[in-house]
């Protein structure tokens, strides 16, 4: 039983690590893209009107990319939640089965113990 719990804890830790790594990578890529785009536009020699137009175009592009990234993250999170719920349900079912098995064994041991004491008492009375 302890090995089972240890194995489950290790699996959960690995899933949590993978989730954090994915989210951090996406956030870093988005932020890096935004900073790089703005720096490129602002350092390029151009008139104020053209720079504002480029910033507006770039802002729209960043907005579109960000929306796409957020939709991907939302889908990944939804998928993770669904998988976690399925995993949790299977773990609960497995725990119930283990509990039922342990309960049955305990009851059988208890009955055997009571029967042994009754037989032992009867033998002592004779």
* Lowest-pLDDT range of 26-35, 87-96, 102-111: 26-35
Cα–Cα distance, 85 to 81 (Å, whole number): 6
pLDDT tens digits along 58-76: 788 878 888 888 898 889 8
SS (H, E, C) 67-87: HHHHHHHHHHHHHHHHHHHHH
109: domain range?
Answer: 2-125
pLDDT tens digits along 26-58: 777 777 777 777 777 677 777 777 777 877 887
Instruction: Report yes or no on whether pTM surpasses 0.85.
Output: no
Q: What is the reported pLDDT for 103?
A: 92
pLDDT band with cut points at 50, 70 and 90 for residue 124: low
Ordered DSSP codes for 22-54: HHHHHHHHHHHHHHHHHHHHHHS---HHHHHHH
Q: Which of the two residues, 98 and 6, has the higher pLDDT score?
A: 98
Q: Which residue's entry shows tokens 């690995």?
A: 14
Cα–Cα distance, 66 to 68 (Å, whole number): 5
pLDDT exceeds cutoff 80 at 23: no
Q: How many structural domains are present in the chain?
A: 1
CA distances for 76 relative to 16, 82, 85, angstroms: 13, 10, 14
């Amino acid at each position: 039983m302890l090995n089972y719990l240890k194995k489950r804890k290790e699996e959960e830790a690995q899933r949590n690590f993978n989730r954090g790594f994915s989210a951090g990578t996406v956030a870093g890529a988005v932020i890096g893209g935004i900073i790089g785009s703005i720096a490129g536009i602002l350092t390029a020699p151009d008139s104020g009107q053209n720079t504002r137009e480029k910033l507006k175009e770039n802002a729209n592009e960043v907005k579109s990319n960000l929306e796409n990234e957020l939709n991907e993250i939302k889908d990944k999170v939804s998928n993770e939640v669904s998988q976690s719920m399925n995993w949790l349900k299977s773990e609960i079912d497995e725990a119930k089965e283990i509990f039922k098995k342990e309960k049955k064994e305990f009851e059988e041991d208890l009955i055997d113990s009571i029967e042994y004491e009754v037989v032992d008492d009867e033998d002592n009375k004779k």
